[in-house]
Every structure is written in C-alpha cells, then in structure tokens.
Amino acid sequence: MGADLLYNCAPPPLPAHARVLDGPGVSAQISCSLPDGSCCPWATARPCVHPLPIPIHPHSLPVGLHRLHPFPRPAPQAAPPHVPGCWGYARFDPHAYLQNNYVPPRADFSSEECVVPWKLRCLAETFASGEICGRTLIDVGSGPTIYQLLSACEHFEEIVATDFLEVNREELRRWVRGEPGAFDWSPFIQHVCKIEGRGEPWQEKEQRLRGRLRRILPIDVHRADPLGAPLHPPADALLSTFCLEAVSPDRAAFGRALVNVGSMLRPGGHALLLGALGESFYLAGAARLPVVPLDEDDVRGALSDAGFTLRDFRSYAMPPALRTGVDDVDGVFFVHAQKPLEG
C-alpha cells in the first residue's frame, strides 16, 4: 500500500514521536506535537492546510507509529496551495511576538499617533456607532492578543477567539484565567476606557471581556469550513487582525481565505479587519515568518471578490521611529465591510 505525505516544504527525517496514517485511497498525515506539547518541525504550522504532496511509502516509516483517521486524497486537478514558512511557525514564540509589538515604542499610549493607539481608536470609533452588535462575534486568528476585543465586548453576548497554534490559544486561556505571568493588558484596557469615555473602572471591562470570551477554538482559514464544521448559528460579526496576509502564500490565497472566513458570518453581518500593508516578514523569537505583501488595492479587490460591501477603509503609515527591525511593514489598514443580505 502506498500513500502521499501531505506537507508544505522539504521535511527532515521523521521523528520518533510522529504519527502517520496510511491505507488504500487515503493520504498520510503527520501529527504535530512533541511529548511536552510543543510543535516540532513536522508540525503543520499555522498556515498549513493543504500542503504539497511528497511521496512516501508507509512501510519505510519508523516502527511504532500510531494511526490517525483517514481523509480523502485530493483530486489530482485541485493542486493544494504551497504555504511557505512552516519551519518558522513551528518555532513561533508568542511572548517574543508580544514584546515586539505590544510594548513601547509601538504601544506608547502617550501619543495618539502611535500605531497601537491608532488601532484601538479605529475599533472603538467603529463599535461606538452601535450598528455592530448581536449575540456572537468570532475573532479569526486571534494570536496571543486580546486588545482587538476590548471595544467589541460591550456589544456581544459571546466572543469566540480562534487560532491555529495551540501556544497562542494557551496564552489566551492563561489571560482569561488571570494566571500570574500572563501578558499585562491593563494599559490597553485603561486606554480603551479613556477613548470610549464610559467612565467605568477599567477592571470592570477586563472582567466583562473575560466573562464573554467563552470559547477559544482551533481554526484553519484555508479550509472551506475554517472551524472544521459550519458555525451554527453564523456569527453576527467577524473580526480579524494581522492574520490572513500572514498565513497566505500569495494574494490569491489571501482572497480565498477571506471567502472561507466570510462563510462563518451571517448575511448582513459585519467584518472588521486590521492588517499589514507592504510587509514581507515578521519575527517572533527564533521564528521569521513570511507575509504576503499587500497594498490598498489588493485589500479592496479581495473584499469585492469575496462579496463584501466596503463601509470604511483607513490606513496608517508606519513612522521611522516604529520601524524597529522586527518586521518590514510599511503601514496598517483598517476595514469595516459588510456581507450582503441574501436575495
């Protein structure tokens, strides 16, 4: 019996802890965790969903490998996209990522012109309209951050956070549980309370978000059903920050991912996106991750092709003082779009 190992880059020798599926008419798949729960280089990294086939014979695998459930072999004419950077995501360090992007100078709340206050203001002003509200908001590719949810939590009964990487999901769970050593988001919460002008103690917003962040789920934006099954009922709103461009190998894959995540949104629902402009890489500890460089026209075109109506588009040019070497980003975009009503 033969099988195809689906992976997205040239692999190293199979480690002893790997698990492989084989069988007639199925494809092989490698599991992704070391005994301590961390990802190894064979892990399907954050953007890896339908990687390129690499032939392998199951009888050549090390002794003692366990079996997984089969999944259908892809149709020959539907070549899966190549997603670069799998080695980097296996080494993604959420703590280094947070230090690179969510402490000064980028998170300097003394200046409204700094990038993090700009992002928070975009979200606060958009949610302040009261138009974007409902039962469920889904945050696509949350990473290890919660700042993007601070204004949203006032308008939804439930927030669903998602990420491909378990290390990011665990970082979110640590914050929800209030564990020592979790990233300190209190300066962000205090700043959002200030710009929203509610006059409430920031601790109340913190507890409100913890109470409404009820589910933290794995997601794969390159699947037609990113959560593995349709979301029922569909979300009233969708939020995604610095995800789709960071896990797509090219503009076409970015557009397809936008269609996929849009399927989780109800007709008439709202989508809020923050993302990078002109970025080709970013760092997260030892990981150097590729990003598909987008310009404003790329983003507008992808939204139109995905069937969204553009409601607001804002952009921010990264000043020289904030170009710290942790990425090569030129700027940031903010989008408010809406899914059309059926019929």
Residue 228 is predicted with a pLDDT of 93
- Regarding whether 268 and 249 lie in a shared domain, the answer is yes
Q: Is residue 49 part of a domain?
A: yes
Which residue(s) pair with 4 in the sheet? 55
Residue tagged 């003692």 (tokens): 64
Block means of pLDDT (10 residues each) for the chain, length 343 residues? 33 40 35 37 34 34 32 31 55 96 96 94 97 97 98 97 97 96 96 91 96 96 94 95 96 97 97 98 95 98 97 97 97 97 70
- Regarding whether 130 and 275 lie in a shared domain, the answer is yes
Select from 39, 74, 90 the last residue of a domain.
Answer: 90
Residue 236 is predicted with a pLDDT of 98
Select from 90, 107, 122 the last residue of a domain.
Answer: 90
Select from 52, 68, 90 the last residue of a domain.
Answer: 90
Residue 230 CA: distances (Å) to CA of 31, 79, 227, 244, 262: 24, 24, 7, 19, 11
Q: Which domain holds residue 230?
A: 92-338
Look up residue 210 and give its DSSP letter: H
Residue 259 is predicted with a pLDDT of 97
- Regarding whether 299 and 240 lie in a shared domain, the answer is yes
For position 122, which CATH number holds? 3.40.50.150
Residue 342 is predicted with a pLDDT of 75
- Regarding whether 201 and 130 lie in a shared domain, the answer is yes
- Regarding whether 206 and 63 lie in a shared domain, the answer is no
Q: What gap in Å lies between CA 229 and CA 14, rounded to an integer?
A: 30
Amino acid present at 120: L
Q: Is residue 343 part of a domain?
A: no
- Regarding whether 38 and 135 lie in a shared domain, the answer is no
CB atoms within 10 A of CB 202: 19
Q: What gap in Å lies between CA 333 and CA 301, rounded to an integer?
A: 14
Which residue(s) pair with 3 in the sheet? 56
Tokens read off for 243: 């995800």
Q: Is residue 2 part of a domain?
A: yes
In the chain, how many domains are there? 2
Residue 12 is predicted with a pLDDT of 39
Residue 119 is predicted with a pLDDT of 98
